[in-house]
Chain A
Amino acid sequence: MAFYVVQFLTGLASAASLFLVASGLSIIFGVTRIVNFAHGAFYMIGAYIAFTLTERLSGAFGFWGSIVLAALAVAVIGVIVEMVLLRRIYHAPELFQLLATFGLTLMVEDLVVLIWGPDDLVGRRAPGFRGAIDFFGQNIPSYDLFLIVLGPVVLGILWLLFQRTRWGVLVRAATQDRDMVAALGVNQKWLFTSVFAVGVFLAALGGALQIPRDAVHHAMDLRIIVEVFVVVVIGGLGSIVGAFVAAVLVSELNAFGILIFPKISIILVFLVMAAVLIVRPWGLFGKPEAAARKTPGLTVNPWRPLTSNERLAALAAFVVAAMLPLFAGNYLLTVGSEIAIFVIFAVSLHFLMSVGGLASFGHAAYFGLGAYGVAFLAKMAGLPMIVCLLLGPLLGCMGAAVFGFFAVQLSGVYFAMLTLAFAQIVWSIAFQWVSVTGGDNGILGIWPEKWAASPSHFYWLALGVAALVTVALRAMVFAPFGYALRATRDSLLRSEAIGIDAKRIQWTAFVIAGTTAGIGGALFAYLKGSVFPDNLGISLSVDALVMVLLGGVETVSGAVIGAIVYKALNIWLVSQTDLSKLVLGGFIMLIVVVFPKGIVGMLEMLAQRRRKSSPPGSPLLAKPIESAE
């Protein structure tokens, strides 16, 4: 019995940090409508700075001073980020905001390693809370008790701040209607900045307070952000009480999940999250809210199928690509195969994101599941390659069917957070369930059979599948289903009013996209000869997003171009520098801020401008002629 009580208290103690970070995220979202992906990064910087300061400053005052100082320092960094980056993108579609803050996270990950090194850092114990308290033969660290008290205290302080101060009233007003607050003459810029500073302060404080409990390391940002996303999805974005209750719930589920499913404890959290989403899609304490902005929607450029000339051009490009083995060496062919596989991956995400308006931040899950599917079939069942390639993607399909069902219940930022959390769950399973997946060691020795073994043959295989997939998905865009999917993206209200079951359409699209990604993953397993948890990791999901974004979210064919350019750049970059995340993160922010239409979008714009400058006569006269063709 005492053991369970101790386990419960440990859970409560973990909830404190989680609550601090989640409430910060919620407050920022409430006012700025930005889901700050970089919140985990601020948490991590808070921990690192606190570590350095506590090493330098001695005594009780030095320790606690360091914690607060670290949080303040990070808040200042937050203010700079808000003024330099976020102010430029408050009016951008939410996808861009998510990506920009994600780019920031990537940069921070490399910067942290650059400054503090790659090793785990074990911080000092907190003065006054070094020991443990005996509880019927079980030890409870006294620092845990301190954290247990701290959580509700912070909740109380936040409550007072929001209910009793002028600033709090403004924040609450802005959360309800920021345009109205602006119309009443409140300086919105500084309100946003101060809210962001407070949110970041809370995140950094959460990080700093963790150092006596846990080692500081450079991957802690992703771990916390995924947990925080789960917390806000359960508790309801924008609700501080919700963040508190959900933080406690998630921490307790983690604490007891280890006892029930020692290998895959995260399953329990997932089950609870799924249950909450079914009963209350907007979270326990959240309010149902209409989606504020559409994901694409920077321009309205109607899509059309390729003209016969454009089809010829695409065919010519394919023929040229197919001739690559005539003059390229083995290394280049392997690179070519990898690019072809990433074209499949990017095109599958594009289908979901651009056509369906559903920006998945965890699309790699289905890519990786396809790869694991092949690995299981090839290594355990010993099936021939062609069978593995056909059946392997079904694992991606099943994963997409299960997670997609829950994910499409939500939209916008909730959808993004949920898909990310799902992907992280799949990753955790691959990582923790060593007996089946080999854990970190992966599954090795998945080699293609003779007919596909040579680099040129494999390249043709990958290229052929990529072409097939691209053509098939493009055909779907212009099939009745594609129209229905675009309809659900443009207006849910109107879709439902003309008999469209929007959720089911979106779910179908999710499964199609997941299965297609699985095809890419299946080929990838054979290309690399192995499967690792990284094949379904977050960075791969972000790669896919960047490929789509780089090509142009609002175009039909952008994903192909984006994948080729990005993957080629990426392979080259990794061979040139150790700081690829830093460069990549900067690159993402650059695209979002100055280049939001992507490559194909830019080309289309230029082409249109040229068309406009040549005298076509009245556009009204030109239109019927075009449509008659």
Chain B
Amino acid sequence: MSVAPPLLAVEGLTKSYGGIHAVRGVSFSLRAGEILALIGPNGAGKSTCFDMLNGQNKPDSGHVRLLGEEITGRKPREVWRLGVGRTFQITATFATMTVRENVQVALISHEKQLYNLWGSAPKFDRGEAGRLLELVGMGGYADRPCGELAYGDLKRLELAVALANQPKLLLMDEPTAGMAPRERVDLMRLTASIAREKSIGVLFTEHDMDVVFEHADRIIVLNRGTLIAEGSPAEVRGNPQVQAVYLGEGLVYDARHREGTSA
């Protein structure tokens, strides 16, 4: 086996707010091209955990390493420069700019042209921006103001923006929350195919178990700040402890027969 460090290695991540231990000693790792789902009931510490991975939040202790490099406590923009793209639970886009301009800003940043006072931004990497939009199926919307988009389209735009710096790792916080069932399936299929093709590691949190069981290669389960299970979808589904705290018993999850539950 290779001795290369994993794409993402999380070790003993811990964070408490006052007396509440939001995240306690969480460790896991993620390989390139792998799709890993982080699930757990509300308040389990998923979002806190997530925010600590790209520097949105600082851990009390523990380590986050990207390809062996320590990124714990680095600022989000620095983590991004190392090749970590991110989408948000509630989409964050540039509402007064067009769809293409949203992608162009990310490309401008990626090519370190942010302080270029004289060049033409509308022409900047226009082709590349178009390709990214085509990739997520937004090619026809390039000139639409971003503020007019439907929610599902915003999620796809976020994906295009997150892909602009050719990331090694994508962090997606509830990528399908607030979407219609049909859109959820489409978005995750799209993400999975891009990730496999480009060998990008994906970590996502999700409440919709259809999405999770259909697309995740591996699942980790968080409850009250600690990891209680880890394994393939089938293993996690059969784990009695996971059933007790989150999935419930006696339910059969089948993507073909269920419409998505609300997040």
Q: For residue B98, which residues in chain A have a CB less than 8 angstroms away from its CB?
A: 302
Q: Which of B141-187 contact A (CB under 8 A)?
A: 142-148, 161, 164-165
Whether B54 lies near A497 (C-beta < 8 A) is yes
Whether A478 lies near B76 (C-beta < 8 A) is no
Whether A493 lies near B88 (C-beta < 8 A) is yes
Residue of B nearest to A357 (CB): B96
Q: Which of B97, B144, B147, B164 is in CB contact (< 8 Å) with A486?
A: B97
Over the window 80-116 of chain B, the binary record of Cβ atoms lying under 8 Å from chain A Cβ atoms (1 yes, 0 no) is 1100001010001111111001001110111001111
Whether B96 lies near A496 (C-beta < 8 A) is no
Residue of B nearest to A505 (CB): B114
Within the assembled complex, what's the spacing in Å between the Cα atoms of A500 and B97? Answer: 16
Q: For residue A454, which residues in chain B have a CB less than 8 angstroms away from its CB?
A: none
Say yes or no for A261: interface residue by CB 8 A criterion: no
A492 → chain B, closest Cβ, in Å? 9
Within the assembled complex, what's the spacing in Å between the Cα atoms of A489 and B105? Answer: 13
- By a beta-carbon cutoff of 8 Å, the part of chain A in contact with chain B is 296-297, 300-302, 304-305, 475-476, 478-484, 486-487, 489-491, 493-494, 496-501, 505, 508, 620, 623-624, 626-627
Whether A491 lies near B94 (C-beta < 8 A) is yes
Residue of A nearest to B95 (CB): A490
Given contacts A482-B121, A499-B110, 8 further A-B contacts (CB under 8 A): A300-B96, A300-B145, A300-B148, A484-B109, A490-B97, A497-B76, A498-B109, A627-B142
Say yes or no for B246: interface residue by CB 8 A criterion: no
- Some 27 contacts from A to B, beta carbons below 8 A apart, are A302-B96, A476-B117, A476-B118, A478-B120, A480-B113, A480-B115, A483-B104, A483-B121, A483-B124, A484-B109, A484-B114, A490-B94, A490-B97, A491-B92, A496-B75, A497-B54, A497-B77, A498-B106, A498-B110, A498-B165, A499-B109, A499-B110, A500-B105, A500-B109, A501-B114, A505-B114, A623-B144
- By a beta-carbon cutoff of 8 Å, the part of chain B in contact with chain A is 54, 75-78, 80-81, 86, 88, 92-98, 101, 104-106, 108-110, 113-122, 124, 140, 142-148, 161, 164-165
Q: For residue A484, which residues in chain B have a CB less than 8 angstroms away from its CB?
A: 105, 108-109, 114-115
Whether B97 lies near A498 (C-beta < 8 A) is no
Q: For residue A478, which residues in chain B have a CB less than 8 angstroms away from its CB?
A: 120-122
Within the assembled complex, what's the spacing in Å between the Cα atoms of A482 and B124? Answer: 12
Whether A486 lies near B94 (C-beta < 8 A) is yes
Identify which of A480, A489, A493, A496 gathers the most chain B CB atoms within 10 Å of its CB.
Answer: A480
Q: For residue B119, which residues in chain A have a CB less than 8 angstroms away from its CB?
A: 479-480
Within the assembled complex, what's the spacing in Å between the Cα atoms of A305 and B164? Answer: 24
Q: For residue B76, which residues in chain A have a CB less than 8 angstroms away from its CB?
A: 496-497
DSSP class of B's interface residues: helix, strand, loop or mixed? loop
A294 → chain B, closest Cβ, in Å? 8
Tell me the total A-B contact number using a CB cutoff of 8 A.
123
* 7 closest A-B pairs by CB: A300-B147, A490-B94, A494-B92, A480-B116, A300-B145, A480-B113, A499-B109
B71 → chain A, closest Cβ, in Å? 14
Whether A627 lies near B143 (C-beta < 8 A) is yes
Residue of A nearest to B100 (CB): A627
With A479-B116, A497-B54, A500-B77 already in contact, the answer to whether A490 and B96 are too (CB < 8 A) is: yes
Within the assembled complex, what's the spacing in Å between the Cα atoms of A497 and B115? Answer: 17
Whether B114 lies near A304 (C-beta < 8 A) is no
Whether A499 lies near B97 (C-beta < 8 A) is no
Q: Which of B80, B93, B114, B148 is in CB contact (< 8 Å) with A480?
A: B114
With A476-B117, A478-B121, A620-B140 already in contact, the answer to whether A497 and B96 are too (CB < 8 A) is: no
Within the assembled complex, what's the spacing in Å between the Cα atoms of A331 and B203? Answer: 70
Within the assembled complex, what's the spacing in Å between the Cα atoms of A304 and B143? Answer: 11
Whether B96 lies near A481 (C-beta < 8 A) is no
Whether B92 lies near A300 (C-beta < 8 A) is no
Q: Which of B54, B95, B114, B122 is in CB contact (< 8 Å) with A500?
A: B114
Q: For residue A508, which residues in chain B have a CB less than 8 angstroms away from its CB?
A: 115
Whether A499 lies near B93 (C-beta < 8 A) is no
Q: Which of B86, B145, B161 is in CB contact (< 8 Å) with A302?
A: B145
Within the assembled complex, what's the spacing in Å between the Cα atoms of A475 and B88? Answer: 32
A436 → chain B, closest Cβ, in Å? 34
With A300-B148, A481-B114, A498-B109 already in contact, the answer to whether A305 and B122 are too (CB < 8 A) is: yes
Whether B121 lies near A479 (C-beta < 8 A) is yes
Whether B77 lies near A480 (C-beta < 8 A) is no
Within the assembled complex, what's the spacing in Å between the Cα atoms of A251 and B116? Answer: 45
Whether A479 lies near B117 (C-beta < 8 A) is yes
Within the assembled complex, what's the spacing in Å between the Cα atoms of A301 and B145? Answer: 7
Residue of A nearest to B142 (CB): A627
Q: Which of A493, A500, A501 is in CB contact (< 8 Å) with B92?
A: A493
Q: For residue A482, which residues in chain B have a CB less than 8 angstroms away from its CB?
A: 121
B42 → chain A, closest Cβ, in Å? 20
Q: Which of A491, A501, A620, A624 is in CB contact (< 8 Å) with B93?
A: A491
With A302-B101, A623-B143 already in contact, the answer to whether A497 and B120 are too (CB < 8 A) is: no
Residue of B nearest to A489 (CB): B96
Whether B121 lies near A487 (C-beta < 8 A) is no
Within the assembled complex, what's the spacing in Å between the Cα atoms of A141 and B247? Answer: 74
Identify which of B77, B120, B145 gathers the most chain A CB atoms within 10 Å of its CB.
Answer: B77
A304 → chain B, closest Cβ, in Å? 7
Whether A479 lies near B86 (C-beta < 8 A) is no
Whether A483 lies near B101 (C-beta < 8 A) is yes
Within the assembled complex, what's the spacing in Å between the Cα atoms of A300 and B98? Answer: 9
Q: For residue B142, which residues in chain A have a CB less than 8 angstroms away from its CB?
A: 627
A225 → chain B, closest Cβ, in Å? 31
A341 → chain B, closest Cβ, in Å? 23
Within the assembled complex, what's the spacing in Å between the Cα atoms of A480 and B117? Answer: 7
B150 → chain A, closest Cβ, in Å? 14
Identify which of A479, A484, A505, A624 gathers the most chain B CB atoms within 10 Å of its CB.
Answer: A479
Within the assembled complex, what's the spacing in Å between the Cα atoms of A478 and B105? Answer: 12
Residue of A nearest to B90 (CB): A493
Q: For residue A499, which residues in chain B have a CB less than 8 angstroms away from its CB?
A: 77-78, 80-81, 109-110, 165
Whether A304 lies near B122 (C-beta < 8 A) is yes
Within the assembled complex, what's the spacing in Å between the Cα atoms of A493 and B76? Answer: 9
